[in-house]
Structure 1
């Protein structure tokens, strides 16, 4: 027996687009955010996008399972930045490669990823609570 999806794919898709736009804007217009945040908003939004993408691909999974896989992917991508093979460095030197794979390992990014995933969990929980009140 298949479980009923917890997430709507059209809603997930819209949320992914919104978070991508916010993430790109955070990098293009960093002056719009407090300088002390540096590039962390973009990193947090990238992790939130990953949370949404995992939820899109696995709509029946629990929020905890989606968050765990999203964190594992984010951490794996960050640690992969320690690998400096020429072809991977060349890929990261492209715009898309840099946006997806990053460029250099920073342990502080791991915290930003956890914050982004926590935001995803919080918004998903609020969304579900709001839907529950309307039914």
Structure 2
């Protein structure tokens, strides 16, 4: 039997992951170079997975993972588009965190890893058997 996602737990996880992501940028000089370079993007992918899971709490892990991956890839692809209005949003703190600044293939890999971590952990702890 599938356990239902707890919105309270997911809210806490989202806050923790966002905090870790910001910390990975802020304390990057203290981290190994590859961790400093990729941790934020992996955590961003995990945060998107958690946000989608929070929003669609009755859907399967597989479905949540797919939506999170599509959303993450869409955001990354939009970074190829540079118009004054969207670049002005990107210049804000939140806009920069959500929309990013420039397209990188490595970001797609990082998002996939972060979402994969979310899927794996949720499959283990929530025993997802739903096939939606």
Report the TM-score, using the length of structure 2 for normalisation.
Answer: 0.89
Of 26, 48, 51, the residue aligned with 2:46 is 48
Which of structures 1 and 2 has the larger relative contact order (alpha carbons within 8 angstroms, sep 6+)?
2
Q: For the structure 1 residues 126 and 33, does the alpha-carbon distance in structure 2 shift closer, same or farther, using more than 3 Å as the test?
A: farther
Provide the aligned C-alpha RMSD in A.
1.4
Alignment of 1:54-69 (within 5 A): 54-69=52-67
Q: Distance in 1 between matches of 2:3 and 2:95?
A: 32
Q: Which has the larger radius of gyration?
A: 1
Q: How does 1:107-126 map to 2 (within 5 A)?
A: 107-126=105-124
- Deviation per CA, 1:17-58, whole angstroms, max 9, x where unpaired? 111111111011113321023431100101100000000000
Equivalent in the alignment of 2:85: 87
Structure 2 residues without counterparts, runs of 5 or longer: 128-132
Structure 1 segments unaligned to the other structure (5+ residues)? 130-135
1:95 CA drift (Å): 1.1
Name the CA distance, whole Å, in 2 between partners of 1:85 and 1:38. 29
* Residue aligned with 1:39, SS: helix
The separation in 2 between residues aligned to 1:40 and 1:48, in whole angstroms, is 13
The aligned counterpart of 1:37 is: 35
How many residues are paired up?
126
